Structure 1
Amino acid sequence: MLSQKTRYAIRAMQHLADMHGKGPVQMVEIATVQRIPVTFLATILSELSRAGLVHSQRGKDGGYRLALSPIDISYGDLIRVMRGSLALVPCASRFAHEPCKNCLDEQDCRLRALMLEVRDRTAAVLDGVRLSDPIDPVPLVSGDSS
């Protein structure tokens, strides 16, 4: 599952994408509209800034804006910045690979083979969707608890 921090980061970036080209957006606006605690949002925006995805501007008319066009930022980019990987297990990570503890040798592990496939398909979907792409909310179907 995505951490709360990653979900907040995505919502903040969606808000900045919606406001792209309209000038800096104040942190309080993002926090209020997206229901993100201000102190937590400050940490998130700092990380996104260090990753080169957000610019901050100080002063009376300051705030935050995307460092790149929304078409140049994928959801895969955001999740990698916040989580470090799209993989569900460390041995399936492309950039942060680690052998799993108490596991089979990697060449014999069918779970790893499956998780590599999951990672690649997940990456294909998340890297193919940009902040500029419209995403309509899906209404909850009665009885749906996922």
Structure 2
Amino acid sequence: MLSKKAKYALKALLYLTKHQDKGLAVISEISEKERIPRKFLEAILVDLKMNGVLHSVRGKNGGYSLAKSPSEVSVGNIIRMIDGPLAPIPCVSHLYYRKCDECIDEANCEIRIVMKKVRDATADILDGTYLSDMQAINAYLN
């Protein structure tokens, strides 16, 4: 399940994607327009900046902007930054693999086989969808 923090991160990034030609966006503006609690948003934006997704300028005329092109930022990577692995169980995760404590035969575990399919389908969709794709979908629908 997508956490509220990851959802808000995506909403903030989409806002910055849509408004990138207008320069820096301030936290209060993003918070108000996207209905994200300001304190929560501040923490999210710091995380995204530390991960190289955002650029910030301090001071009176400061704010946030994308550090990368929207066509370079995948939804899957943002979710991993905020929530961790996409995999529903640790034994099928590529980046955060861990054997399940109770597992007797990982190679023949029926649960693992199904959850690997879930992980693969989820990763294919999320890793193949970029902020620019989401913006294009929204423009098409409106």
Give the alignment's TM-score, normalised by structure 2: 0.90
- CA shift at 1:19, angstroms? 1.0
Question: Could you list the per-position Cα deviations for residues 110-145 of structure 1 after superposition, in whole angstroms to 9, with x for gaps in the alignment?
Answer: 1111111111111111111111122349xxxxxxxx
Q: How does 1:37-52 map to 2 (within 5 A)?
A: 37-52=37-52
**Structure 2 residue aligned with 1:56:** 56
**Structure 2 residue aligned with 1:108:** 108
Greater percentage in helix: 2
- In the alignment, the residues of structure 1 paired with residue 92 and residue 17 of structure 2 have an alpha-carbon distance, to the nearest angstrom, of 31
- In the alignment, the residues of structure 2 paired with residue 98 and residue 59 of structure 1 have an alpha-carbon distance, to the nearest angstrom, of 44
- In the alignment, the residues of structure 1 paired with residue 64 and residue 34 of structure 2 have an alpha-carbon distance, to the nearest angstrom, of 15
Query: Is 1:98 aligned to residue 121 of structure 2?
Result: no
Structure 1 unaligned blocks of 5 or more: 138-146
Q: How does 1:63-78 map to 2 (within 5 A)?
A: 63-78=63-78
Aligned length: 138
**Structure 2 residue aligned with 1:127:** 127
Q: Residue 65 of structure 2: SS of its match in structure 1?
A: strand
**Structure 2 residue aligned with 1:33:** 33
Higher relative contact order (CA 8 A, sep 6+): 2
